[in-house]
A and B are shown apart, each in its own frame.
Chain A
Amino acid sequence: MLIRLLVVVLLVLVFWLGTRNMKIVPSRGQVMFEFITGFVRDNIIIGTLGEKDGKRFMSVLMTIFFVTLGMNITGIIPGLQIAGTSVIGLPLIMALVAYFLFIYAGIRRHGLRFFKNALILPGVPIALTPFLALLEFLSTFILRPITLTLRLLMNMVAGHMLLVLCFAATDFFFFTVLKDGNFLGLLGVGTFAFGIAFTLLEMFVAALQAYVITILAAIYIQMALAEEH
């Protein structure tokens, strides 16, 4: 929980400083800051939802992105070494936020017709309609939050496990096997190299998962807002 607190403080601090003095002609730092926020804003949010709806849901989606990114990246920061998202609480919360967000968006736009649109597909034979409605219900209203949660959680847990495995093995090889005079302990070099490689991979996965959860949330909202299927 301390890690989360730290991430929250850091996020608030970075974004407070980053947006404190934004100019039309940006400084170097502002360009870097805008490169990241602009990517989330334009490519993920506005690219999926369009300018108008994008701005409506922007703060929530940006929060999801940067909380996920911040919490993910702690998995490889020395001294923290565990991702804030590798415990189910936070992924679940964000999945639920995305879940209620797209239901809210759909109801705001279409009223109760939203559920009908979501469940009953046009151009399907009448005999199949109930069956497909059941499937759609499962995929849209049950599986979406679960997959959102588990995708993020499991990526982070697996990454964490891999890193733990690599570094624990390195530790074991160097300080147990090699100390006993067994040269098999030099395998520790290999596991250490793998650990570094997986650290880099984790860095990538951290950003990727933040991207994935945000764009999926945006797409769910966009599908809910769309007129018909």
Chain B
Amino acid sequence: MLNAFVAQAAQATPSLLIPQLPDLIWGSIAFAIVLVFFTWKVVPRLNAALDARRDAIEGGIKRAEEAQAGAQEALEQYNTQLAEARTAAAGIRDQAREDAKRIRAELVEQAQADAARVLTSAQAQIEAERQSAFVSLRAEVGAIAIDLASGVIGESLNDKRSNDIVDRFLADLEVSEAAAAKAKA
């Protein structure tokens, strides 16, 4: 067999560079068959598979990136909201504190005003009552004194005169009382 190859090779050597017609024809046909098959099936399938894989990988990476970006955004949003909420809470607290202070001051003022008014009105009332008591007491004391004096002297005193006497007496009494009070003070 090997000797046959040697013989064949030896025969082929002179025409090595000159193509034989059947050689060209069959070579072309062989090449053409493979070419057609590759163009028709292999390369499209291969490209489709590889592109699909690349798309899948790129899609996966892209999706992951999108998810990450979304999470980042949500985090930032959350932080912003948190900060806003904190600011708002602080504002509300300050406002409440101020309100409380203001309300307290108002209440105190109101109470003080009320107390002052009550005091004033009470003092006025007391003064008025004292005055009326004083007047009625004075009249009663006068009448009693006159009755007493009438009884003592046995005759009714002239109204005009008796009243004058009583008044004078009371005035003297007041003066003496005042003097006593001053001396006491």
Contact = CB atoms under 8 A, between A and B. Distances in A.
Given A67-B30, A164-B6, A171-B2, A89 B50 contact: no
B26 A89 contact: yes
Interface string B1-22: 0110110010010001111101
B31 A87 contact: no
Nearest to B57: A24
Contacts of B3: 168, 171
Contact of A15 (B5, B16, B37, B52): B37
A224 B30 CA distance: 27
Interface in A88-103: 88-90, 92-94, 97
Given A16-B41, A59-B43, A88 B34 contact: no
A55 interface: yes
A169 to B, nearest CB: 10
Chain A interface main SS type: helix
Interface in B35-51: 35, 37-39, 41-43, 45-50
A164 B6 CA distance: 7
Contacts of B33: 8, 12
Contact of A41 (B37, B39, B50, B53): B50
Interface in A13-29: 15-16, 18-20, 22-24
Contact of B52 (A24, A63, A167): A24
A172 B59 CA distance: 65
Contacts of B41: 15-16, 19
Nearest to A18: B42
Contacts of A60: 35, 39
Given A16-B41, A24-B49, A62-B42, A164 B5 contact: yes
Nearest to B5: A164
Contact of A1 (B5, B26, B35, B39): B26
B85 interface: no
Contact of B34 (A22, A67, A92, A157): A67
Contacts of B5: 81-82, 164
Nearest to B28: A93
Given A22-B45, A87-B23, A150-B17, 15 more contacts: A4-B26, A5-B26, A8-B34, A15-B41, A15-B42, A41-B50, A67-B30, A67-B31, A88-B19, A89-B19, A89-B20, A92-B24, A92-B27, A93-B24, A168-B3
